[in-house]
Amino acid sequence: MGKLTKDEMKKIADELRHAFGRVELQCDAYRVNMEVRPLAARRYAIAVFVDGWMRGEWLRDDCEQRRRFMRCRNVPLYSAAKRARIEKELGKRYAKRLGVDKTFAVFYPYWTSVTPMLRQFCATNDTVSVIEIGYQRKAMNIEQPAEAEVADA
């Protein structure tokens, strides 16, 4: 195996573009499920489940699952307006010495875009392969109708 091909990435992106789309990947020794879920009113995000779990401790503590699969965002300690006000009152050098421009990392168990998510998975894992794309029927335990049943209907 290896990394994902462009065709596989396109199929994954097409599936996760729709509400409640689902994809299952094998990333090294981890089985990763991605599902489109509601994040807020009229807003959806791609939730990531590693080996069937989404644990809060992965977001809090430094671990393999956090580094490989969670979305990292650097958040400034102060807003831009507050930084500008502090720099104006105290001066740039003193404000920088106080650490006004510092940021901290926040990890999220969801992604808002498919492309950066897949890039992160491919960059942090040696092998990434598709197990299943759009497996809603399997998750709901609904069998595919046989071709003879479809023809009779």
Q: 15, 120 in Cβ contact below 8 A?
A: no
Band of the pLDDT at 3, cuts 50, 70, 90?
confident
d(CA 34, CA 135): 11
Residues 8-25 have pLDDT tens digits of 999 999 999 888 889 999
What percent of the chain stands above pLDDT 70?
87
Q: Does the predicted TM-score (pTM) go above 0.95?
A: no
Q: With 90 as the cut, is the pLDDT of residue 151 above it?
A: no
Sign of the CA dihedral running 5, 130, 113, 80: negative
Q: With 70 as the cut, is the pLDDT of residue 144 above it?
A: no
At residue 23, what are phi and psi to the nearest 5 degrees? -140, 145
Segment 84-98 mean pLDDT:
93
Segment 138-144 mean pLDDT:
54
